[in-house]
Each structure stands twice: as C-alpha cells, then as structure tokens.
Structure 1
Amino acid sequence: MQFWVVLAVVYLPSFQAAAWHHRKALYPSAYRIKRGAYSLINPTFQRSSEDISLLFEILLSGMQIRGEEHTLLIPDEELASLRSVKKLEVICEDVLPKRLSDIRRLTAELAQRLEPLSWPDFERTVLTLVYTSQTLAQITDQHQRELWTNALMQLFQAVQKDLRPT
C-alpha cells in the first residue's frame, strides 16, 4: 500500500505537468485582447469557405503584416474596408508574435506537439509564417537573416506536418 502512495506522489506531478503542457495555449495573447471586446477574445478569421476565399484574395492583393503599430496593411481599399477584416486586423496586431524570440518559442512548442493543431492555431501559424517571410525579405544583417530563415523553416515544417494525413 505504501509503495503505491509513494509512486503516486512521485509520478503525479510529472503527469500533471505533461497534461498542462498539452493544454498550454500556443498563442496566449489570443486570450488577452487589448481592445476589450468580448467577441474578440480568441478571434478566428476563417469561419466559412467564403472567409477562406476572402483571406486568399487579401493575401494576393499584397497584404503586409508589419511589426509596429497598425501592423496590417491591405493595399486594396475595398477589401480593407470590409467589416469581416476587423478580426483579421485584431489577429495580426494583437495575437501574432512579432519578436524573433516569441516566434522561436512558438516553433519550439509546435515541434513538440503530437496532436494536430486546432483550426484557430493553424490559421495563426500560417499568418505567422506570412509575417516571418515578409520580415525576412527586409532584413539585411546576415546573422539576423539566418535566425529568421531558421524560424521560417520551422514554421513551414510545422504547417507541413499538420497537413499530413495521420
């Protein structure tokens, strides 16, 4: 009897830590939206096939995600004025990681995941991949360029891994 109690005391914290690790949010800022609107907590842009087509059209129009204030730039004024684009703005400005250290933390967590990404996490990972590739195109310092390239490749591998059939 005492053996089982000792075994439970020793292994229970590790099981709890493992369970917590799998429930840990990949994008914790999605639950801390600065704008204060309850409807924007854990925002997701794509809810229908029309939303998917709209995002594709926005990306093709030359959408840029930048690291500073007002990070989302959509050159097509008509697309930019759509009401549904508001959630995309919130995701790009408040949810996506912009610092290399945050992106590297994300890629490390993505590499350890065994289960498929949730739809919102997949969407955010693809948008982070877009942001990383756009940032990489502007970097001239060779060392920084290598670091951002590595992050880009890890994000790409995470998306590719998630798309593979299980």
Structure 2
Amino acid sequence: MARRWLLLALVYLSVLQAAALHQRKALYPSAYRIKRGTYSLINPTFQRSRQDVNLLFEILLAGTQIRGEGETLLIPDEELASLSSVERLEVICEDVLPKKLSEIRRLTAELGWRRQPLSWQDFERTVLTLVYTSQTLAQIDNQQQREVWTDALMQLFLAVQRDLRPS
C-alpha cells in the first residue's frame, strides 16, 4: 500500500513539474538568441513607450510588409524607414517572428494551452505574427495551403482576442 502512495505521489509531482515547465516555456525562443552580436538585442521589443505604440501603428498603417525568411522588412515610407528605432522592429520581424507554417502552428498550439495573460513582449510578437500570417495568406493561391494558413490566422486572432478579454 505504501508503494502505491509513493508511486502516486511521484506521478503527481512529475505532472506538477511538467505543468510548471510548460508555463515557463518561451513562446518565442529565438528572442533569447543573439543573432546580431549585440547584448541590447536579446529579447528585443519595439514598444517601450506610448510614442512607440503610435509609431508601430503608423508603420503598419503605411503598408509595411513583413517578409519571409531571409528577406528584409519593407517599409514604403522612407521617413519612417529611416528612424533609428525601426532597427528593433527589423530584428523582431527578421529574427524573432516565426515564418514557417510549422513554427506558426507550434506557436498557436502553445497559445492555446496558455491560461495566463501574455507578457507585453509576447503580445507584441503575437500581433506581429498575426500581421505576417495575414500578409502571407493574401499571396497564396493554392486552396489547401490557403485553408491551413487561414486556420493559423484564426488561431492567432483567437489568442489575441482571448488575451484582450478582461480577467
């Protein structure tokens, strides 16, 4: 009987440990890898003030295109593109955001499991991933691919919507 209780206790503790690890798992692991050789770009975020929030909105509204892997961020407005703070946005869009469908689906699965609100960094990245996914979806002609990307887009949208609901 004591062995059963010990076994049950071990199983319970392992489940608790797995749950705790799952909660701490990074949604955007590439944000913690240095790719450009500077410490200030570890876990980069764009929005650090209200002005940054307004600037990001203006940049996206200007028709900015978040391109696929190996391509650069395209900001059609030259004045906006020349701002020094745009470098952080480029790093996020080029090095942090998932670009492959498999990576985006992994992200949506992780978001589906989360029960706590997103950090503001993860919220920013999720919204930018939503923008990238919608821009990619607009360029796909294959019906099967459109359906899969549409599902990913909807999952990202639902995650953002769920995070915005009051607790």
Which category describes the TM-score, using the shorter chain as reference length? Answer: over 0.9
Superposed, 1:60-139 pairs within 5 Å as 60-139=61-140
Task: State the match for 2:44 in structure 1.
Answer: 43
In 2, distance between residues paired with 1:109 and 1:115? 12
In 2, distance between residues paired with 1:33 and 1:140? 35
Residue 18 (str. 1) matches residue 19 (str. 2) = yes
The total of aligned residue pairs comes to 166
Task: State the match for 2:165 in structure 1.
Answer: 164
In 1, distance between residues paired with 2:18 and 2:130? 29
How much has 1:114 moved relative to structure 2?
A: 0.3
CA RMSD after TM alignment: 1.3
TM-score, length basis structure 2? 0.95
Is residue 34–residue 94 contact of structure 1 (8 Å, CA) maintained in 2?
yes
In 1, distance between residues paired with 2:117 and 2:10? 31
How much has 1:68 moved relative to structure 2?
A: 3.2
How much has 1:70 moved relative to structure 2?
A: 3.1
How much has 1:69 moved relative to structure 2?
A: 1.9
TM-score, length basis structure 1? 0.96
Is residue 64–residue 73 contact of structure 1 (8 Å, CA) maintained in 2?
yes
How much has 1:7 moved relative to structure 2?
A: 3.4
Identity %: 78
Task: State the match for 1:141 in structure 2.
Answer: 142
Is residue 26–residue 121 contact of structure 1 (8 Å, CA) maintained in 2?
yes
Is residue 33–residue 94 contact of structure 1 (8 Å, CA) maintained in 2?
no
How much has 1:13 moved relative to structure 2?
A: 1.4
SS of residue paired to 1:65: coil
- TM-superposition CA deviations, 1:71-96 (whole Å, max 9, x none): 31101111111111111000000000
**Contiguous gaps of at least 5 residues in structure 2:** none
Is residue 133–residue 152 contact of structure 1 (8 Å, CA) maintained in 2?
yes
Is residue 33–residue 95 contact of structure 1 (8 Å, CA) maintained in 2?
no
Task: State the match for 1:57 in structure 2.
Answer: 58
In 2, distance between residues paired with 1:100 and 1:69? 15
**Contiguous gaps of at least 5 residues in structure 1:** none
How much has 1:10 moved relative to structure 2?
A: 2.4
Task: State the match for 2:34 in structure 1.
Answer: 33
Is residue 116–residue 162 contact of structure 1 (8 Å, CA) maintained in 2?
yes
